[in-house]
Amino acid sequence: MVMDIEAFRKAGYQAIDRICDYYYSLEQKPVASQVHPGYLRELLPAAAPEEGEDFQAIADDYQKLIVPGLTHWQHPNFYAYFPTACTFEGMLGDLYATSATNPGFNWACSPACTELEAVVMDWAAQLFGLAGHFLNSSEIGGGVIQTTASDSALVAIVAARARYTAAHPDVRLEDLVIYTTTQTHSLGVKAALVLGLACRALEVSADDRFALRGAALRAALDADKARGKHPFVLVGTVGTTSSGAVDRLDEIGEVLKEHPDVWLHVDAAWAGVTLACPEYRAPAQLASINAHADSFCTNFHKWGLVNFDASTLWVRNRRHLTDALDVTPEFLRTKQGDAGTVIDYRNWHLSLGRRFRSLKVWFVLRSYGAAGFREHIRKGIALNAHFAALVRAAPPFALVTEPSFALSVFRLAPPLPGVADGEREAALDALNRAYYARLAARPDVLLTQTVLNGTFCIRFAVGAARTTQDHVERAWGAIQEEARAALAEWEAARADGA
Amino acid sequence: MVMDIEAFRKAGYQAIDRICDYYYSLEQKPVASQVHPGYLRELLPAAAPEEGEDFQAIADDYQKLIVPGLTHWQHPNFYAYFPTACTFEGMLGDLYATSATNPGFNWACSPACTELEAVVMDWAAQLFGLAGHFLNSSEIGGGVIQTTASDSALVAIVAARARYTAAHPDVRLEDLVIYTTTQTHSLGVKAALVLGLACRALEVSADDRFALRGAALRAALDADKARGKHPFVLVGTVGTTSSGAVDRLDEIGEVLKEHPDVWLHVDAAWAGVTLACPEYRAPAQLASINAHADSFCTNFHKWGLVNFDASTLWVRNRRHLTDALDVTPEFLRTKQGDAGTVIDYRNWHLSLGRRFRSLKVWFVLRSYGAAGFREHIRKGIALNAHFAALVRAAPPFALVTEPSFALSVFRLAPPLPGVADGEREAALDALNRAYYARLAARPDVLLTQTVLNGTFCIRFAVGAARTTQDHVERAWGAIQEEARAALAEWEAARADGA
């Protein structure tokens, strides 16, 4: 039953048609999949078939068995986590890339893959206003596409550790410390687990809008160094997951001038794409990124219109990557690599093989153009501003912190008559958890929760390409409806003396 | 210029048609790209366009600028490195997966992604004859799809380190040692670089066909432990890159019974897929894998018909992964995850987000069936046997070691009259390097080189889906032609007294 070229043409046309149908019908689907755990194992045989099956049966099973098990991240009423990009241009990039698959580990594997990546990373660097030293054309720093921000951070931390231990060969690995904040994405803790190193999450405050300040960093560095510890990398964030907080990279950069062997990795996985718009370069701290960051990461595959995965990482000095990661056995040697005239991207990341990810970035940047890319970012921010205004105008809704770019974090904060002051926060927490459970059960909208310094709250993250103001207003309707129900339930329970 | 649904239909049909054209014309193309370093930067603008471009121009540029920069790993005369799989079923899997992209980090992201992966990993485990404890349905061990074998090995080594340091909390990281052999793929050294740990490459001999034996392992363990070192993981290989060597896992397993806290990771990235055929289960050491391996990896994306990337990793005990890698902040908590009723694959690998890779594995296993999969593997081995027979029958060609599965390693070994015995190997090395340089310059065939215990040699790796006996014979013609030329050149140089 193996597919030949003409059978592929037929199945390929059908796939394209069915993807079109998917997008025409997307808005009618529940946002989150409604299946129960284990649903698919019940429907599939226990083992692969002995004889090959007709592809039409397989394609039909995709529609029948898989699509109902998908949560639709491209649904216009998806406001959970952060968006995951999915554009038609991105799909076509993935399709062309897979059609002539190669493992891409050196230039010779397929020169176009290395070369296009080097060029589009320079395009992206300029789109975001990154300084010249981050460009591949500088031949000093450079950019590389990783799978995810976790991967980018891990690579940066490995390079930071190699740089630090080369300068301090007598330091024990046990004494190295990775700095994050309590608001840093789990990628910080994960990197520490992977590397077997200590991690210290610096405290931040609601008064500082959950941003790391220079003074807190200085105090931590001084205290840790005094007790013989060696902080060697700080993961700063532009746009944290819980609240969109932006660490004060200006202050951090000043402090790190006193500690030049501490590497500054800036994780802007979500919000980094706002740098495409001149008006967001100050709030997203571009000047400090350019002045102070050893490495900078943003994910095109979140808000940046390129299909997952496409995490872009730039470094100030590419030698820090290759010094840490270069492995070139005989079977990987090439004339061009030996001559040093080409980038061998395998030495810029963890794996050996790599997909041709730059193709989809190229397709998207050309089809949208810089202007279209900025328009998409501005639309998300405007929709979020609209949502935040609705929240502000409608007590007992309350923003827990200031909206950040395209993210608002809110909760219900009614007066709760009869609840003692000392019990108010616990009662609000219980109310909001019950409220969120109601909201999460709805098929027509999807939001996710978080906890900010102990306060349970709900995140509203805009950015799916198809979301309009009308969708935001319908989502707001659902949010209000469940709030009324949750408040009524709470009051009824209270009347019952519960 | 942003693409709408109908524009996507048009561009999608065209992409399908052009992929068909690519495969119809594949054999007429040079195997390796003929471009020069820097070719693409010269052809592209220095920055992204300000305004979006028409997609037709972009699609045409893919044909005009990118395709000439591709090395065609699916060309039937590609015998370099190891094959990289690319089937129409795999492409369609990638296309459907990217069409509803989601980051897949927990069950709720899209239940179908987690559930299909759990099921197809059990299908694959059974296809390969893996023991029940490796199946997800065992709820003890289980399988997960990683990006590459480097990634799989790194995950296994992290789990091994976590298990070891939990049992030996006083051991310094500086005293841990990763064991590989001199023939282990660079993934061993790379993992050591990433983790900042020592790595010891155990010597193997040509007499043992480059396989690690139990006695050598025991001697190394005893010596290292005596000097206070802590070997905690051994990367054993079934099918090394240079020569297809298979470590003696039976002997290794017996030795490791005396060292039960040393983790055995079996890297069968290339040759593991032969386990689908009952007749290769003994040479590929299935019984010992089942008896002794803590983790086992093979790549469907090499010889296994699934488009890159799809590296399958099984572990004997899933808790060793989650104990090492579990990170669950509030914003990643789910009802199902908290209840423990579902797998959250993010805790089984390094990154957070992950692609829907199981879809293409499912498509391939169903379309080929187990029988079709085995037929593909057997065809590659038969073609290699044919090639090896041609080499054996044609001195001065010589096999450097026994052929392994679908890989032969050979060189020219003519008598070299007038060359002293002590200089013979150096002269052969020079001759074969010159010979390989000629071969590598040919557009109609692609092979790569390696060095085996100091001997420069040439690898012939079969496995591209479209290779037939006729292709192998034409490649053999090219190989003979360049050999005659290289030998004539060598003799002429000698006559000149060079």
A71 to chain B, any CB pair closer than 8 A? The answer is: yes
Any bridge partners for residue B458, and if so which? B410, B449
Q: CA-CA distance, A434 to B162, in Å (whole number)? A: 38
ipTM of predicted complex: 0.97
CA B443 to chain centre: 24
Domain boundaries, chain B: 102-356, 366-495
B6 contacts A100? CB cut-off 8 A? no
pLDDT at residue number A336:
79
The answer for residues whose C-beta is within 8 angstroms of residue A221's C-beta and 6 or more apart is A231, A255, A259, A262
**Three-state secondary-structure class, residue B459:** strand
**Interface membership of A247 toward B (CB under 8 Å):** no
Domain B366-495 top-level CATH class: alpha beta
Band the pLDDT of A273: cuts 50, 70, 90: very high
Contact by Cβ (8 Å): A369, B50:
yes
CATH, domain A94-365, list 3.40.50.300, 3.40.640.10, 1.10.760.10, 3.40.50.620: 3.40.640.10
Look at residue A184 and tell me whether its pLDDT is greater than 70: yes
Per-residue confidence band for B122, with pLDDT thresholds at 50, 70 and 90:
very high
Q: Is the pLDDT of residue B357 over 80?
A: yes
Do strands B198-202 and A407-412 pair parallel, antiparallel, or not at all (unpaired)?
A: unpaired
- Which pLDDT value is given to residue A495? 84
- Is the CB of A237 inside 8 Å of chain B's CB atoms? no
Average pLDDT over residues B42-54: 98
For chain B, percent of residues with pLDDT exceeding 70? 99
Tokens found for residue A220: 């931590």
How many whole angstroms from its chain centre is CA B286? 18
Residue among B155, B210, B161 nearest B181 (CA): B210
Facing residue for A102 by CB, picked from B65, B73, B355: B73
- Separation CA A159–CA A156 (nearest Å): 5
Question: Per-residue pLDDT for A90 more than 80?
Answer: yes
Q: pLDDT digit string (tens) for A398-445?
A: 999 999 999 999 999 999 988 999 999 999 999 999 999 999 999 999
Task: Please give the angle made by the CA atoms of A99, A101 and A105, to the nearest 5 degrees.
Answer: 155
Q: How far is B394 from chain A (nearest CA, A)?
A: 25
Q: Is A312 left (phi over 0), alpha (psi -120 to 50) or beta?
A: beta
- Give chain A's mean pLDDT: 96
Average pLDDT over residues B231-254: 98
What is the C-alpha to C-alpha distance for residues B184 and B186, in angstroms, rounded to an integer?
6
Tell me the pLDDT band of A1, cut-offs 50, 70 and 90.
Answer: low
Using CA atoms, how far apart are residues B310 and B302, in angstroms rounded to an integer?
9
Mean per-residue pLDDT for A136-164? 97
What percent of chain B shows pLDDT beyond 90? 94
- Residue A375: its pLDDT value, please? 98
Q: What is the pLDDT of residue B1?
A: 61
Are the Cβ atoms of B242 and A331 closer than 8 angstroms?
yes
Measured distance CA(B96)–CA(A203) in Å, rounded: 43
Cβ partners under 8 Å of residue A29, min gap 6:
A72, A75
Interface of A with B in 271-330 (CB under 8 A): 301, 307-309, 324-325, 327-330
What is the rounded average pLDDT of the residues B79-100? Answer: 97
Instruction: State yes or no: pLDDT of B330 exceeds 80.
Output: no
pLDDT at B496: 82
- Give me the pLDDT at residue B338, please: 75
What band does A329 get if pLDDT is binned at 50, 70 and 90? Answer: confident
What's the CA gap between B115 and A40, in Å, rounded? Answer: 6
- B271 has a pLDDT exceeding 70: yes
B470 upstream amide cis, omega within 30 of 0: no
> A218 vs chain B: nearest CA distance in angstroms?
26
pLDDT digits (tens, 9 = 90+) for B406-451: 999 999 999 998 899 999 999 999 999 999 999 999 999 999 999 9
Q: What is the pLDDT of residues A50-71, one digit of tens each?
A: 999 999 999 999 999 999 999 9
State the average pLDDT over residues B313-335: 88
Q: CA B306, CA B87: separation in Å to the nearest integer?
A: 7
Residue B489 phi, psi (nearest 5): -65, -45
- Report pLDDT for B130: 98
Kindly tell me if the per-residue pLDDT of B129 is higher than 80: yes
A86 in contact with chain B, both atoms CB, cutoff 8 A = yes
Please count the residue pairs, one from chain A and one from chain B, whose beta carbons lie less than 8 angstroms apart. Answer: 500
Distance from CA of A327 to the nearest CA of B (A): 7
Classify strands A455-461 and A407-412 as parallel, antiparallel or unpaired: antiparallel
User: What kind of architecture, by CATH, is found in domain B102-356?
Assistant: 3-Layer(aba) Sandwich (3.40)
Q: What pLDDT is stored for residue B372 in this prediction?
A: 98
Q: List alpha helices for B107-175, DSSP H.
A: 111-127, 149-167
What are the two backbone dihedrals, phi and then psi, of residue B32, each rounded to the nearest 5 degrees?
-95, 145
Does B17 have pLDDT greater than 90? yes
Question: Which H helix or E strand runs over B267?
Answer: strand B263-267
**A16 vs A8, A154, A270, A446, B361, CA distance in Å?**
12, 37, 29, 27, 20
> Among B1, B41, B448, whose Cβ lies nearest the Cβ of A115?
B41
Are residues B280 and B308 in contact, defined by beta-carbon separation less than 8 angstroms?
no
Whole-angstrom Cα Rg for chain A: 25
Q: Do B99 and A85 touch (CB under 8 A)?
A: no
Q: Which among A48, A172, A370 is the nearest to B48, CB-wise?
A: A370
Higher per-residue pLDDT: B295 or A494: B295
